[in-house]
A = this chain, B = another copy of it.
């Protein structure tokens, strides 16, 4: 260790410096957790502009294998696609439309450089349009009510001291029409993108092939090593 000499010369300063780095990591973990939870609350209330502002300019968002790149891609996804479709362009919730997806079970890793981090989360969504409001959604694609279970494996970056989303990778796993359940609901394959931008004006920049829903059960790779054995995940 080349630090030995320094440690002997300035023991208390070195101790404090090491402790400071540990506190940096703790703060980073809580900041990333807060960032992702904030994302969830904004998206649930259709605050799509606020969602896009959580991303780095060099960020990207992946939905069901469809990759939306950079500021333009992120705005295409949340503003041109979701906001136009779910709330008819309104930035905020609309009467009768539910899309709650609590953010759960974080495993967050702040990388050694302290400026990037990875986070695994999951969610269970409750979605649908209230029966009393269906008239105003007429002519849109049919809306029922459904549960959705999903995973995230995300990346975060610290820019000028502020944690932002670098790569959000949302991976729906199973759907359940409310009256049927996850076992009796056929895969909702319509959520998987098939046409890229600009052929689809709200499509992704790239499509990662092979995305499959339940009954497929493939593992979404873990960004972290096994906490006891240190074994790195091999997909």
Contacts and interface: CB of A to CB of B under 8 A. Distances in A.
A58 to B, nearest CB: 14
A83 interface: no
A97 B217 contact: yes
Interface string A129-158: 111110000000000110101000000000
A50 to B, nearest CB: 6
Contacts of A128: 181-183
A219 B45 contact: yes
A209 interface: no
A151 to B, nearest CB: 9
Contacts of A12: 12-13, 16
A129 B96 contact: no
Interface stretch (A1-9, A30-38, A64-72): A30-38
Given A19-B16, A41-B222, A120-B41, A215 B105 contact: no
How many of these chains are in the complex? 3
Nearest to A18: B20
A95 to B, nearest CB: 6
Contact of A19 (B19, B94, B133, B163): B19
Nearest to A181: B178
A189 interface: no
Nearest to A50: B226
A235 to B, nearest CB: 11
A197 to B, nearest CB: 25
A96 B15 CA distance: 53
A107 interface: yes
